[in-house]
Amino acid sequence: MALKESAPGAGTPPGGPVDKNVRLGLVTSTALIVGSIIGVGVFSLPYALSGYGPISLVAMGLATVGALALALLFAALTRRIPAEGGPYAYARAAFGNAVGFGNAWTYWITAWAGNAAIAVGWVYYVEHFINKGGSTGWSIVIALVGLWVPAAVNLTGLKNVGSFQVVTTVLKFLPLLLVATVGLFFVKSANFTPWNVSGDSTWSAIGGAMAICLFSYLGVETAAVAAGQVRNPERNVPRATILGTSASALVYLLSMVAIFGMISTQDLSLDANKASYSVAADHMFGGGWAGNLVAIAVIISGLGALTGWTLICAEMPRAAAHDGLFPERFARESRRKVPAFGIVSSTVLASVAVVISFMGASGATVFTTLVLMSGITAAVPYAFSALAQIVWTVRDRGTTQNRQQRSRTLRDMLVAVIALVFSGAFIYYSRNTGADWYVVWGPFLMTAGALALGVPVYALQRKHMLPPIPLASTSDDSAK
C-alpha cells in the first residue's frame, strides 16, 4: 500500500519535486529528529516533575515505550505514504478530508504551542545569566526573542536550517551525555525517597507525570512531516526516525536517573533551581563554571529545537494547503523558497500563547500548561495515525501473504495498538495539579480555544478541498 510523492493531492508542491541538492539527507533528517526531540523539554523536566517526585522515572520509562512505538509506527507509515504532512497525510488518506483537516489543524497547534513551551523552558536557562529575579515582563521578552530568532533562520532558507540542526544537535548532546554518564557516579539512594510526593495514588501520579514526559519526545514524527523535503523518503525517513528516537531515549533515561539521584525532590522544586542540569553540573564539579557551560549548551540546544519546530510549523499547513484543506497562502513560497506565511503566522500564535501563559500562571505551571496543551494536540493525530495503520493492516491481511509478510503485518498491528493506547493515556492524564479549576483544566481550555479557531477555516476551505488519493493494497508494499 503506497502513495507516491508525485501523486496529485498528496501534498506535493506544484511545479515538481524540490531540488535534490537542497533536500535533507539521512544525517540532516536524523539531526532534525534529534534536534526536535531534544530541545529544552528534557532540560526543564526535573523542575516540572518535582511535584510528583522520583516516581516520575517510572513515568519516563513508560513514555519512552510509547515514544518508541510511535517511532516504529511512523517509520512503517512513511513506507506506505512517503508524502509530506506525516500524521495529516495518513489521517486524510484513511478517513477523508474532514478528519484530515482536523488532524492537520490539531498538529499545527502542537507545533506552535510546543514552540511556546520550548521558549518558556529556554527562558529558565537564559535567566541563569540575566533576569535572575524572574521579572515576568522580562521573561516574556526573552521568550519572544527565543521564538523570533529561529523564525528568522527559517526565513533564510532550508539549507541554513539543515546546517543549523547538525551543529546544535552535536552541542545539545554534550550536557546530556555528561549528566547521563559522569552524573551516575554522584547518585545517592536517599534522594529517591520519598518516592511519590504528589499526594495522588501511584497510578495517578505516574499518569500525570507521563503526560508531561510526552512533551520531551514530541518530534518523533518530524521527518515524516517534512518527508517532501527529504531525499529518498521511503528509506531515509524510517531510518532517521528510529535512529533519532533511540539515541534520544537512551540519554533521556540515564540523565533523568542521574538528576533525581543527585538532587533531592525538594531542591528540584525551587524556582532558583529551574535550570536543573546546570545545578547538576555544579553539583558534580563544584563552582559555577560547569553550570554556566551547561546553560550555554542548553540555550543553543533550545534555539536548534525552535528552528526545527518552526520548520514543522510551516510544513504541516503547506502540505494541507497543497490539498486545498488550508488557505492557499500557506503554500506560497518566498524568494528563498520557504513558506514565509506559515513561519510568521505560527510564530505569532506561539508568541500569543507565551504571553497568555505568563500572565495567567507562574513558576512550573506556565511550562506544564503549554506542555500538556502540546501533548493533547499531538496525541490526537498520533491516535488517528495508529487507527489508519490498524485499518490498513487489517485490509492487508486479506491479501495473499507469505510467512514474512504475515509477520510484518502482525508487528505493524501490535505497534499501532500500543501507540493508540499510549495516545489515549496521554490525553486522559493531561491535567495540571492545583486547587483552581482553571489551572487544572487550563491545558484543555487553551486547546479548545485553539481548535475553535479552525471551525471557520474548515467552513471556508470545504469547496477547495481536493479528493484524497485512493490507496491500493498490494502485498509487495505491505511487506516493505
461: domain CATH number is 1.20.1740.10
Query: pLDDT band at 416, cuts 50/70/90?
Result: very high
pLDDT tops 80 at residue 418: yes
What percent of the chain has pLDDT above 90?
17
Residue 289: inside a domain: yes
Q: Which residues of 385-419 are buried (b: 16+ CB within 10 A; e: fewer)?
A: bbbbbbebbeebeebebeeebeebbeebbebbbbb
Residue 305: inside a domain: yes
Residue 297: inside a domain: yes
Residue 12: inside a domain: no
Highest mean pLDDT pick, 149-158, 414-423, 462-471? 414-423
Query: pLDDT band at 458, cuts 50/70/90?
Result: very high
pTM value is 0.77
Query: pLDDT band at 428, cuts 50/70/90?
Result: confident
Residue 477: inside a domain: no
What is the C-alpha separation between 367 and 271, in angstroms, rounded? 12
Instruction: Supply 145's cell numbers.
Output: 526573542
What is the C-alpha separation between 34 and 141, in angstroms, rounded? 27
pLDDT at 358: 78
- 136: containing domain: 20-471
Q: Given its phi and psi angles, is residue 212 left (phi above 0), alpha (psi -120 to 50 degrees) or beta? A: alpha
pLDDT at 383: 94
CB 51 within 8 A of CB 433: yes
pLDDT at 8: 32
Query: Which one-letter DSSP state was computed for residue 463?
Result: G
CB 415 within 8 A of CB 258: no
pLDDT at 147: 94
Residue 401: inside a domain: yes
pLDDT tops 70 at residue 310: yes
Residue 480: inside a domain: no
Q: Render pLDDT for 318-351 as a digit per residue (tens, 0 to 9).
A: 888 988 999 999 988 888 788 899 999 999 999 9
pLDDT at 343: 92
What is the C-alpha separation between 288 and 461, in angstroms, rounded? 55
Report the helix count and the strand count for the chain, using DSSP H and E. Answer: 20, 0
pLDDT at 37: 73
Is 243 exposed, middle or buried (CB count within 10 Å of its CB: 0-12, 13-18, 19+)?
A: middle
174 Cβ partners below 8 Å, 6+ apart? 297
What is the C-alpha separation between 280 and 178, in angstroms, rounded? 10
Q: Render pLDDT for 177-217 as a digit per residue (tens, 0 to 9).
A: 888 888 888 998 898 988 898 888 898 899 888 888 887 78
Q: Render pLDDT for 26-75 as a digit per residue (tens, 0 to 9).
A: 777 777 677 667 767 678 788 888 889 899 999 988 988 888 888 888 88
Give the type of residue at 203.
Answer: W
Q: How many CB atoms lie within 10 A of CB 168?
A: 25
Ranges of beta strands (E only) in 325-444 are none
| Residue whose C-alpha cell is 513515568 | 59
202 Cβ partners below 8 Å, 6+ apart? 55, 196
Highest mean pLDDT pick, 246-255, 296-305, 368-377, 459-468? 459-468
Residue 8: inside a domain: no
For residue 287, the Cα-to-chain-centroid distance in whole angstroms is 34
Mean of the pLDDT values across residues 238-248? 79
CB 65 within 8 A of CB 436: no
Instruction: Tally the residues of the chain.
Output: 480
pLDDT at 1: 36
Task: Give me the number of domains the chain comprises.
Answer: 1
Instruction: Supply 279's cell numbers.
Output: 545545578
> What is the Rg, in whole angstroms, of the alpha carbon atoms belonging to the chain?
21
pLDDT at 24: 66
